[in-house]
Amino acid sequence: MKLLIKCIRNLLGGIIALIDLVTRGRKMKRSAEQQTKINEETKQLALYQFFACPFCIKTRRAIYKLNLPIEKRNAAEGSPHREDLFTGGGRIKVPCLRIEENDKVEWLYESSDIIQYLEKRFS
């Protein structure tokens, strides 16, 4: 039964991811200098996610529209990033944005909170 639910969830997530790719829209345009600055700032960020998770897809869509080159880390079972997420953030929950600033690391959960943070910081 668990396997069937997992298969259905992955199938639906794949369909949602495909729809996202087709309907994404355009990336935010910036000057070359502005984009270079943004690219440098985003090196301190990493998104822990599952490919087929609807909330992760929502977060990745916002990252795409904001034109942010944030590293995406797969937190699926067996991935070394999963252990990093648990050790650093305290739980296995995605999406989770790892924010490193001033030698301090913050783990931000919840897609809406992540998107709000990114829009406020990079819009």
pLDDT (tens digit per residue) in 45-58: 999 999 989 999 99
One digit per residue, the tens of pLDDT, for the chain of length 123 reads 778 887 877 888 788 788 877 787 888 899 999 999 999 999 999 999 999 899 999 999 999 999 999 999 999 989 999 999 999 999 999 999 999 999 999 999 999 999 999 999 998
In the chain, what's the furthest Cα-to-Cα distance?
53
User: Do 98 and 46 meet the contact criterion of CB atoms below 8 Å apart?
Assistant: yes
CA of residue 96 relative to chain centroid, distance: 7
pTM to 2 decimal places: 0.87
- Residue 90: how many other CB atoms lie within 10 Å: 10
Q: How far apart are CA 114 and CA 94, in angstroms?
A: 11
Q: How far apart are CA 49 and CA 74, in angstroms?
A: 5
b/e map 61-80, b = 16+ CB within 10 Å: bbbbbbbbebebbebeeeee
CATH number at 2-122: 3.40.30.10
Write down the pLDDT at residue 110.
97
Instruction: Assign 34 to helix, strand or coil.
Output: helix
Write down the pLDDT at residue 122.
94
